């Protein structure tokens, strides 16, 4: 099956109709984020209520997803965000991306909402076939139990994504969960922007994809595709960060915990400091040590792991399985850096098992860990529970699933908690909480937070690669305030990668290895039968960004929304005692001062 053979699957939840459509020519060269953002731009009114009838949820595999390219199993989920009020794309791995692509789906468009408020549904997708199945028995069921039951009900180890309890309660902190390769954890999240609530507003509990009759997605130019894939694979496997026995395989993304802490940029106790004294206890190194410890104690019965792939075909393998210390069984998979920070350092919690339990609760409830960790941090600042009290945080988070008023407030995100309790130290842009890098100490990532069209989101333009980790061995001064060009370049490249179907973490290798970058571009070009060159990455990424920025402009956003919170300009962060001092003029340069 060629990429051009895939179709648009349009599901209308008002009349419960299923329609397969030939992909329009104007969408034929798009995939992933490029496609989700384009469909949102063309079909969703900019002023639509995000949880209303006229918003749409789009699910699109990337251009190379479903092929045999290395580390290519990514999926984009897009909609108008209930958290920001603007356009949103969230990216995830897991089982669904490959299966959806191999079932012949270019994009799944879920539109409108049922008139029957008491009915809940699952969507089941097979090759050239889809059905909507009433599924009230799964309503408000935890994601661990739900994925287990659906795995048993549907054969061929299906991909499962869903809205979760939080999404079904229409809470703005809800992500779209996905099952992992073994179906042991629903922790593969398109987490940001409240997109789980959009799916819940459509009365959809789960989307089950079976690719039993599916086909590997082939390139138009198979010879070019194979040689380019080889070049990319060699770059990934030979790089010290992404390669075999490299930093990510041994310690996962949480290798960053100690690195960012030493840089004085680890947000601690609701962004009141940049250094956490307990960081090493919840770091990737601590997880590695725990996995080795339980393996030694419980042998083959131990379920902990590092070097775990988040989707089929992943060669980076930066995921992990955190075990319970007392029995060696799976506690949560994965515990990423962002989650360990949000539910650990940001709350002053240095107990690894408590952090893992908070992460497991988020997975089970359908909550974005970044938004939830920030919400809990604001709640601690408000005096609801003390900083550092892991048991109190676990108890409070459980209230989200119980649907208590306080639980609904926490599940609605940090900005909501701040407004309800009068807390002004809320680290958010356009309504979305900041991830695990304090922009007062690392200016470039702050420029991305401020100017990215999707709210505070590090994955829109990961300048940390240049500012902390170094590209081609050169580290850009993290406290240099002239970062508009750097952020723009990362935002444009990222938009291309998000559209391709590759994992964003290939950036570590392709930015260092020119042959790897060319291999990435050539696989996309070969898949589509195009003649893209390396220089086209910027142009194609810019097209995606311009589409997103124009949607936001029509939704009422201006350059004045591209700003960081006031408190960051006034409250110095220890240990460097720096404030956010990037001038507005620098921010306005990123996208031309719109």
Give the model confidence (pLDDT) of 296-334 as tens digits.
999 999 999 999 999 999 999 999 999 999 999 999 999
DSSP secondary structure, 168-224, as one string: HTT-TTB-BEE--TTSS--B--B-GGGHHHHHHHTTEEEEEE--TT----B-SSHHH
A 10 A CB-CB count for 42 gives: 12
Angle of the 514-528 helix axis to the 484-500 helix axis, nearest 10: 50
State the Cα–Cα distance between residues 467 and 471, nearest whole angstrom: 9
The pLDDT tens digits of the residues spanning 223-234 come to 999 999 999 999
* Average pLDDT over all residues of the chain: 97
User: Which two tokens mark 483?
Assistant: 């970062």
| pLDDT value of position 183 | 97
- 434-456: average pLDDT: 98
Residue 594 pLDDT exceeds 70: no
What SS3 class is residue 254? helix
CA distance 594 to 591: 7
Give the three-state DSSP class for 45: coil
How far apart, in whole angstroms, are the C-alpha atoms of residue 214 and residue 97? 13
- Pairing verdict, β 121-126 and 204-209: parallel
The C-alpha atoms of residue 340 and residue 223 are separated, in whole angstroms, by: 42
Say what percent of the chain tops pLDDT 90.
97
d(CA 332, CA 513): 34
In sequence order, what DSSP letters do the residues of 509-551 get, joined into one string?
HHTT-HHHHHHHHHHHHHHHT----TTHHHHHHHHHHHHHHHH
What the chain holds in terms of domains, given with CATH numbers, is 3-209 (3.60.9.10)
Kindly state the percentage of the chain with pLDDT values over 70. Answer: 100
Bridge-partner residues for 92, per DSSP? 75
> pLDDT tens digits for 334-386?
999 999 999 999 999 999 999 999 999 999 999 999 999 999 999 999 999 99
Rg (CA), the chain: 22
pLDDT of residue 233: 97
Tens digit of each residue's pLDDT (9 = 90 or more) over 531-589: 999 999 999 999 999 999 999 999 999 999 999 999 999 999 999 999 999 999 999 99
Element (H, E) at 17: strand 17-22
Is beta strand 319-323 parallel, antiparallel or unpaired with respect to 330-332? Answer: antiparallel
Mean pLDDT along residues 24-51: 98
Judge whether 499 and 32 are in contact, CB under 8 Å: yes
DSSP β-ladder status, 105-111 and 7-12: parallel
Please check whether residue 533 is in contact with residue 522, taking contact to mean a CB–CB distance below 8 angstroms: no
Token digits of residue 226: 């194979």
Q: Is 23 helix (H, G, I), strand (E, B) or coil?
A: coil
* Reported pTM: 0.98
Residue 245 pLDDT: 84
H helix or E strand, kind and range, residue 323? strand 319-323
Residue 573, φ and ψ in degrees, nearest 5 = -105, 130
pLDDT score of 418: 98
Q: How far apart are the first and last CA of the chain?
A: 42
Average pLDDT on 28-45 reads: 98
DSSP string, 86-122: SEEEEEE-SSHHHHHHHTTEEEEEEES--S-TT--EE
Of the pLDDT bands very low, low, confident and very high (cuts 50, 70, 90), residue 593 is: low
Q: What are 493-528's pLDDT values in tens digits?
A: 999 999 999 999 999 999 999 999 999 999 999 999
Structure tokens at 553: 């402009």
Nearest to 450 by CA among 257, 582, 296: 582
Write phi, then psi, for 376 (nearest 5 degrees). Answer: -65, -35
3 state DSSP class of 142: coil
Cβ 430 vs Cβ 414: under 8 Å: no
Helices (H) and strands (E) in the chain, counts: 23, 16
> CA-CA distances (angstroms) from residue 93 to 56, 75, 231, 533?
21, 6, 22, 27
Distance in angstroms (rounded) separating the CA atoms of residues 82 and 392: 28
How many Å apart are CA 21 and CA 8, to the nearest integer?
Answer: 5
Tell me the residue length of the chain: 594
Encoded tokens for 384: 């609801």
């Amino acid at each position: 099956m060629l990429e051009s053979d895939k179709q648009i699957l349009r599901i209308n939840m008002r009349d419960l109709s299923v329609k397969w459509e030939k992909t329009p020519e104007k969408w034929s060269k798009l995939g992933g984020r490029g496609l989700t953002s384009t469909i949102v731009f063309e079909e969703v009114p900019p002023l639509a209520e995000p949880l209303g009838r006229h918003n749409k949820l789009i699910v699109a595999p990337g251009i190379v997803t479903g092929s045999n390219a290395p580390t290519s199993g990514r999926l984009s989920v897009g909609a108008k965000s209930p958290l920001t009020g603007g356009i949103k794309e969230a990216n995830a791995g897991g089982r669904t991306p490959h299966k959806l692509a191999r079932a012949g789906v270019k994009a799944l468009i879920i539109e409108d909402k049922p008139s029957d408020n008491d009915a809940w549904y699952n969507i089941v997708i097979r090759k050239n076939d889809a059905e909507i199945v009433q599924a009230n028995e799964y309503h408000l069921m935890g994601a661990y139990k739900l994925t287990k039951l659906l795995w048993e009900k549907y054969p061929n180890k299906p991909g499962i994504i869903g809205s979760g309890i939080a999404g079904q309660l229409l809470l703005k902190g809800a992500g779209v969960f996905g099952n992992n390769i073994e179906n042991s954890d629903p922790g593969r999240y398109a987490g940001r922007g409240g997109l789980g609530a959009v799916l819940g507003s459509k009365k959809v509990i789960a989307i089950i994809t079976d690719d039993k009759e599916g086909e590997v997605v082939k390139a138009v130019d198979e010879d070019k595709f194979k040689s380019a894939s080889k070049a990319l694979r060699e770059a990934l496997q030979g790089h010290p960060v992404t390669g075999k026995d490299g930093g990510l395989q041994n310690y996962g993304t949480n290798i960053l915990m100690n690195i960012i802490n030493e840089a004085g940029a680890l947000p601690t106790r609701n962004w009141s400091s940049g250094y956490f004294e307990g960081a090493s206890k919840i770091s990737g190194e601590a997880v590695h040590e725990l996995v080795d410890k339980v393996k030694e104690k419980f042998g083959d019965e131990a379920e902990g792991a590092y070097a775990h792939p988040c989707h089929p075909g992943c060669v980076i393998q930066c995921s992990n399985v955190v075990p319970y210390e007392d029995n060696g069984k799976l506690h949560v998979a994965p515990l990423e850096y962002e989650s360990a920070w949000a539910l650990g350092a940001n709350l002053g919690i240095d107990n690894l098992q408590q952090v893992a339990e908070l992460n497991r609760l988020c997975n089970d409830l359908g909550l974005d860990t970044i938004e939830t960790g920030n919400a809990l941090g604001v709640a601690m600042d408000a005096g609801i529970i003390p900083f550092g009290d892991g048991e109190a945080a676990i108890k409070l988070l459980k209230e989200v699933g119980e649907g208590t008023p306080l639980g609904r407030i926490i599940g609605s995100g940090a900005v909501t908690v701040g407004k309800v309790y009068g807390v002004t130290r809320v680290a958010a842009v356009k309504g979305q909480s900041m991830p695990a890098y304090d922009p007062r100490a690392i200016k470039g990532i702050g420029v991305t937070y401020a100017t990215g069209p999707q709210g505070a989101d590090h994955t829109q333009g990961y300048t940390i690669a240049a500012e902390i980790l170094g590209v081609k061995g050169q580290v850009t001064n993290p406290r240099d305030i002239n970062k508009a060009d750097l952020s723009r370049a990362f935002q444009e490249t990222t938009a291309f990668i998000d559209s391709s179907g590759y994992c964003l973490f290939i950036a570590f290798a392709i930015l260092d290895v020119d042959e790897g970058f060319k291999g990435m571009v050539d696989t996309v070009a070969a898949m589509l039968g195009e003649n893209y060159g390396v220089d086209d990455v910027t142009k194609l990424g810019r097209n995606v960004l311009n589409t997103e920025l124009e949607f936001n402009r029509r939704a009422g956003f201006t350059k004045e929304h591209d700003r960081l919170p006031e408190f960051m300009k006034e409250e110095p962060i220890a240990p460097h005692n720096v404030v956010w001092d990037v001038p507005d003029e620098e921010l306005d340069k990123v996208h031309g001062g719109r």
